[in-house]
Amino acid sequence: MTQPNVLDGLPEELKELDQYETIERRVAEIMKADHKHTKVGAFMKCKKCQPKMAERRTYLQDLGFKDYHQYLKWKQVMGIMKQIDNETKEKAQ
């Protein structure tokens, strides 16, 4: 049984490697905080972090991601593509 392509159903602009870094920077900006959590549970319950998680969820949905899992898979695929692109550029020099 073949697994579905993580890029299926995503808007074309999300399939462009140039968008990867822009999106990752924006997600990092949204989640930036003045404190840290040692456990995931504390992060999930944090009153300061909950609005950030909601903003991230809305941002990702507005981009065209169906859910957070699809975003994580997209991030993994795009990271691999970026690595291959960098290696190709290095070999060309």
Give percent above pLDDT 90 in the chain: 69
What mean pLDDT value characterizes the chain?
A: 91
80 part of a folded domain: yes
For 72, the domain range is 17-92
Residue 36 lies in a domain: yes
- Tell me the H-state helices in 1-93: 17-31, 40-45, 50-63, 68-92
pLDDT at 2 (0 to 100): 67
Rounded-to-integer distance, Cα 92 and Cα 69, Å: 35
Tally of domains in the chain? 1
pLDDT in tens, 35-69: 999 998 999 899 999 999 999 999 999 999 999 99
